[in-house]
Every structure is written in C-alpha cells, then in structure tokens.
Amino acid sequence: MLKFSDFLLCSAVLCLCPCRISLKKGLSIRDQMRAAGVLDDFLKHIKYDSVKKYQPSQGSVVREPIANHLDSSYFGEISIGEPPQKFLVLFDTGSSNLWVPSMDCKSPACFNHAKFQPSASATFTPRGQSYNVSYGSGSVTIVLGSDTLRIQSITVTQQELGLSQEEPTQPFYFAAFDGILGMAFPSLAVGGMATALGGMLEQNQLAEPVFSFYFSRQPTYDYGGELLLGGVDPQLFQGDITWAPVTQRLYWQVALEEVAIGQSATGWCSQGCQAIVDTGTFLLTVPQEYIENILEALGAQETSYGYAVDCSDTQSMPQLTFGIGGARLALPPSAYVLNSNGYCTLAIEATYLPSQDGQPLWILGNVFLKEFYTVFDMANNRVGFAPSA
C-alpha cells in the first residue's frame, strides 16, 4: 500500500490452535507446535487459500536482503522469465498483486526502470486481460501474463503477474524499485490474480507457511533489513512473539485494543480499533478523528512540511503504546520523530483508507515495524510481533 507522501517526507488451520503458542528462540515453529501437541491438527485444518495443498517438508527458508532508499522504501531483488530478467520490487503486505514494468510502457515512470521483455523469455505466456491496480498514490494499468518467478532459491513456475502499461509519475518515477510484489491475502488481488505467496505454497517452495520481516533501525541502501520466506530468525528478535489473529482476510489486519500516550490511556479504542500491518507504508497513520488530539499531546504544529516538533524536545516526548494481542507494544519518540538536518517532524499522517467495519483504522507502517520483528502466519491467519534485536 504505497503513498507518495512516504517519498516526500524523507526526500521525499485451524482457527487459532486450542492452546496459544509463544515462539522461543532456538526452536522452529514446527518443533514448538509438535511439543505442544497441536502440529497434526495444524496440518489437517490450516485455512490459508493454498495451504491445504502444502507439504512443508519439501520447501526451504529463504533469506532475502532488503535495500533501503532514503529511509522511505524497502525492496529486494527477484527475477522473472527464462533466462531470468532481474527486477527490484517492494515487498508489500498492503497489496496482493505482483507486477513489473513492461517494454510496452510509455509512461515517464517506466523510462528509468528495468522493463520486462516477454519475447526474451522462453517461458512467458500472455493472458491478455487488463486491469487497474490502485494504491494510495494512484493507479497502475497492467496486462496479465505468466512466467517463472525466482527469489533466491525459490522457483515458482507459471506464476501470474502483471506487466505495467501505464504508471503515475508520482511516486513511481522517483522510486528506487521497479515493481511491487504484493503479500496480502488473495481476496485483495485485482482481477483474481494468483498471488506470489499462493504460488510458493502450491508448489511447496517454503519450509513453513510463514514469512517474516526485520527492518533495521538505522538502514542503509545496502542493508535495510531482511525478509525471511518460510521461517523466522530468532537472532533478529528478543523474547517471545505476541500473536494477534487477523480480523479480516484482505489486508494483514489485527484488532488494536488500546492506544496510550505516555502513561495515559486514550480510550480511543474502547469500542474497538483496527490496524493494518503494512510494509508498503512508511509512516504510522492515525484515524482522522484523532489527529488533532495526538498533535496536541505531542506538541506538534501542522506545517507545509508535515507535523513539526522542536528537535530539542524529542528526548522528553512520550512513547506511544499500542495494545495488540494482549501485549503492550511501545514506540519511543526516537522511532516516530524524523530528524532531517535539524528539522524534526512526526512520522505520522491521517489514515487514507476507509474503514471496512466502521471502527477507527490505523496503519502500522515501517516506522512501527522497525521496532518489531513481524511474522505473518499464513496457516493460522495471524500476525506475530516481537521486539527487534
């Protein structure tokens, strides 16, 4: 789920198992489930669209390095076709379609990016259908095809993908990545496209039906973090993982039980709140009805460059605490205040998506995810959080 403001700021199955399981460092998910006596039920009843066909012993755990551009977007390398054509893609848990630029794209945004050449791939099959894929920043027009997708040692044959025909200049002209690999639920995919994760599961490419993200608190272009496909890395987090069930299988959306500013509970979620866990959004987004309250509490002033705060006040600003899965996940001011050469702004904006169920909707973007190693469990339809190492 991508927004141009993210670029502007910095340069711009089983219903849950009968017993709750906390991951311990040193043990795999499967080992802990076996020890808890729930592995057999898990394999018989898993719910994610393609997991029922899954044979977890055949796959692998793949570590995909993530690069960072101007502390605003995170992306990694994939290849498509035979022989492979390489692309940089944003791994986006806020959307579900896979697409890369096409040789037929005439938009300025395509000129300075890698473009897929169907005629150069021996395994490409055209599908012909055309769709518009909408993001917070605008729509991309794609035409469907299928080809071999590779991510490190993962190989998915006949993977459906989109080839962009038109892209909006903002933000894609300025983006350091070429396309997007959506990682949300299949029900969110435009045109009913088969998702890349679905292909990995159907073709038994993952050791476990999970993936996890680590975002560095001090990213560089060469190292912004890691995406693990098929597992978790206990060296990248501290303590146990707190699990929260997905409340709506479109986005990776969980219930937000409470929000506190400093030691004071706000009561904003007394009637329920929802939060989307979104690697494609840089900022923390706040429901529109609470923006003025949070600005006042944090001593921020709205300017044309964002919500400004005094840099000298950062150390004394309160932490923001989010109640998720019965745990309190705290975001320190060092995480939610951006310092650009002595000019400080809040890494906060109003939520730009409508709520699906009427409850206030938050988006936990990269600003939040830098603080918490995040696990996306496709089998149990739940999200796990643990403090990043």
Active site residues: 92, 278
The CA distance from 232 to 30, in Å, is: 11
List C-alpha distances in Å: 225 to 181, 188, 369, 388: 17, 26, 11, 11
Backbone phi, psi, residue 214, to 5° = -125, 125
Peptide bond connecting 360 to the previous residue in cis, omega within 30 degrees of 0 = no
Helix, strand and coil content of the chain, in percent to the nearest 5, comes to 20, 40, 40
Q: Beta 273-277 vs 252-256: how paired, if at all?
A: antiparallel
Cα–chain-centroid distance for residue 309?
28
Q: Exposure of 2 by Cβ count < 10 A (0-12 exposed, 13-18 middle, 19+ buried)?
A: buried
Q: Is 15 left (phi over 0), alpha (psi -120 to 50) or beta?
A: beta
SS3 200: helix
How many other CB atoms are found less than 10 A from the CB of residue 164? 26
Q: How far is CA 231 from CA 40, 195, 215, 220, 248, in A?
A: 19, 19, 16, 24, 23
Enumerate residues 6+ apart whose C-beta is below 8 A from 78.
86, 87, 89, 149, 150, 151, 181
Q: Return d(Cα 141, Cα 139) in angstroms, integer.
A: 7
Give the Cα separation of 114 and 103 in Å (integer): 9
DSSP symbols for 68-131: EETTTEEEEEEEETTTTEEEEEEEETT---EEEEBTT--SHHHHTS--B-GGG-TT-EEEEEEE
- Run of H or E including 35: helix 29-35
14: its two tokens? 């089983």
In contact, 348 and 187? CB cutoff 8 Å: no
**Residue 340 gets which letter from DSSP?**
E
